[in-house]
Chain A
Amino acid sequence: MSAKDLSTIEMLRHNKIDVALHHLGGSGQSQPLLMLHGLGECTVPVVPPWDAWPGPICGLDFVGHGASTVPAGGGYSAEVLMSDVDVALQHIGPATLAGRGLGAYVALLVAGARPDLVRGAVLADGPGLAGGGPGPGNASWFMPGPHDGSAPDPFALHELAHDIRPPDYATGFLHLLMAASSLASPLVVAAKNRPPWLAAVAAEPGIAIASEAEAVALLAQEL
Chain B
Amino acid sequence: MLLDHPNPYPGARRPDHAWEVDSHGLSIAAYQWGEDSGRPLLLAHGGFDFAGTMDGFAPLLADEGWRVISWDHRGHGDSQHAALYNWEADQRDGMAVLDSVTKDAVPFVGHSKGGGLLLALADVRPDRVTAMANLDGLPSSRTIPDVPDRERRRLMAVELAERLDYRRTAHEGSRKPGTLEALAARRQRMNPRLSSEWLEYLVPIGAAETHDGWRWKLDPTMRFGGFGPHRPEWGLSRLVGVRVPLLGVLGLEEDEMSWGTKPEDVEPWLPAHARFETLEGVGHFVHIEQPRKVADLVLEFLS
Contacts and interface: CB of A to CB of B under 8 A. Distances in A.
A27 B258 CA distance: 55
B164 A72 contact: no
Interface residues of A, number: 46
Contacts of A140: 124
A139 B213 CA distance: 44
B157 A180 contact: yes
Contacts of A166: 229, 231
Interface in A141-167: 141-144, 147, 155, 159, 163-166
B224 to A, nearest CB: 15
Interface in B171-207: 171
A91 to B, nearest CB: 10
Nearest to A142: B88
A63 interface: yes
Contacts of B25: 72-73
Contacts of A73: 23-26, 74, 82, 84, 89, 92-93
Q: Secondary structure of the A side of the interface?
A: loop
Interface in B59-73: none
A113 interface: yes
B229 A75 contact: no
Q: In which size bucket is the chain B interface?
A: 35 or more
A175 interface: yes
Contacts of A147: 24
Interface of A: 13-17, 63, 69, 71-80, 82-83, 86-87, 90, 112-114, 135-136, 139-144, 147, 155, 159, 163-166, 169, 172, 175-176, 179-180
28 contacts: A16-B83, A71-B84, A72-B25, A72-B26, A73-B23, A73-B74, A74-B84, A74-B92, A75-B85, A75-B89, A76-B84, A80-B84, A86-B167, A112-B160, A113-B160, A113-B161, A113-B164, A114-B161, A139-B120, A139-B123, A141-B125, A142-B88, A143-B92, A163-B229, A164-B234, A165-B229, A166-B229, A176-B153
Given A69-B83, A73-B92, 10 more contacts: A14-B171, A17-B83, A63-B83, A73-B74, A74-B89, A77-B86, A80-B84, A86-B167, A176-B156, A176-B160
